[in-house]
Amino acid sequence: MSSIPAGRIIRFALLSFGALMILAPYIFMISTAGKTQSDIFTSSLALIPQHFYFAENFAKAFAKVPMATLLWNGVIVCGLIFFFQVVVAIPCAYAMAKLKFRAARLMMVLVMLGLLVPIHATALPLYVAFDRMSLLNSYISLVAPFTISVFAIFMFLQFFRAMPDDLLHAARLDGMSELGIVARVIVPNAWPAVTAFAIFSVVAHWNDLYWPLIVVSKQAYATPPLGLMYFRAAEAGDDYGALMAATLIITLPLVAAFLLAQKRFVEGITMTGLKG
């Protein structure tokens, strides 16, 4: 029998306990998704459902709300937000990290200030503006406020600062314009940063309830968390089993995407030999 050092057992136990604490709600959600209504409201706390009710709950989840529309809206909104954020932030961060211009310091201050202002502070004026432009209940109102991400600028800025200047000098001597450098040198080497940012951005906007709740009142434009709101409403009653099934459905793409991106992310970090 191989003996495992006590220290290692303790460390492992501590980590397992922590992981379990964090995973518990999710696990309980999976369990509840498989329970009948009466199962859920029993006084005992059971992890394994008495009757497996998964199929029925999932069927109800798909029937009560247009799940496909919700997921599609989520993909569209998150995709557009992420796309515009990257398109805006990469050239901006490149200019601030590597080009010398007079307003560089001012821009840095503005970015820092931008990091300090939460969406909640600007929500009302934005809402009024979208209302005046009759843009409520549209993808534009869902996407537009997030297209310029100071967080992305800040993150890429840190990443680009570490890129060797000689690489850019070489590119300029090879005949590339500044935009050419961004497209041909910066972007291909920025994948680790882009992937890392993608995780932050997509998770934040996929799960966002606050902003969609403000600008969207029609189901056709509802994002997944907003869809769950409709679910909870009067028509579904207190059907927690189906609600949990629906929650499981909308979190699954995120979990899957995160696992995939994580693999790429690690690869990205280990494969870039920037000191080339």
185 interacts with other proteins by CB under 8 A: yes
Separation CA 264–CA 253 (nearest Å): 17
272 interacts with other proteins by CB under 8 A: yes
Q: Which stretch binds other proteins (CB under 8 A): 39-47, 122-130, 135-143, 172-180?
A: 172-180
- DSSP H stretches of helix in the chain: 6-32, 37-40, 54-64, 67-98, 104-116, 119-132, 139-143, 150-161, 165-173, 178-181, 187-189, 191-206, 210-215, 224-232, 240-271
Separation CA 93–CA 104 (nearest Å): 11
* Smallest separation, CB 271 to other proteins (Å): 7
Out of 3, 21, 45, 166, which residue is the one contacting other proteins (CB under 8 A)?
Answer: 166
Separation CA 181–CA 255 (nearest Å): 34
CB-count exposure of residue 189 (10 Å: 0-12, 13-18, 19+): middle
178 interacts with other proteins by CB under 8 A: no
Separation CA 166–CA 229 (nearest Å): 53
* Smallest separation, CB 184 to other proteins (Å): 8
Residues 199-218 that bind other proteins (CB under 8 A): none
* Smallest separation, CB 65 to other proteins (Å): 39
169 interacts with other proteins by CB under 8 A: yes
Residue with smaller CB distance to other proteins, 3 or 270? 270
Out of 102, 175, 218, 234, which residue is the one contacting other proteins (CB under 8 A)?
Answer: 175
Out of 55, 87, 101, 164, which residue is the one contacting other proteins (CB under 8 A)?
Answer: 164
Q: Are 40 and 241 in contact (CB under 8 A)?
A: yes
274 interacts with other proteins by CB under 8 A: yes
Q: Which stretch binds other proteins (CB under 8 A): 20-28, 134-142, 160-168, 244-252?
A: 160-168
* Smallest separation, CB 230 to other proteins (Å): 42
Question: Phi/psi of residue 210, each to 5°?
Answer: -55, -55
Letter for the amino acid at 257? A
* Smallest separation, CB 102 to other proteins (Å): 15
DSSP 90: H
* Smallest separation, CB 58 to other proteins (Å): 41
Q: Are 89 and 157 in contact (CB under 8 A)?
A: no
102 interacts with other proteins by CB under 8 A: no
Binding site residues, other proteins, CB under 8 A: 164, 166-167, 169-177, 180, 184-185, 188-189, 271-276
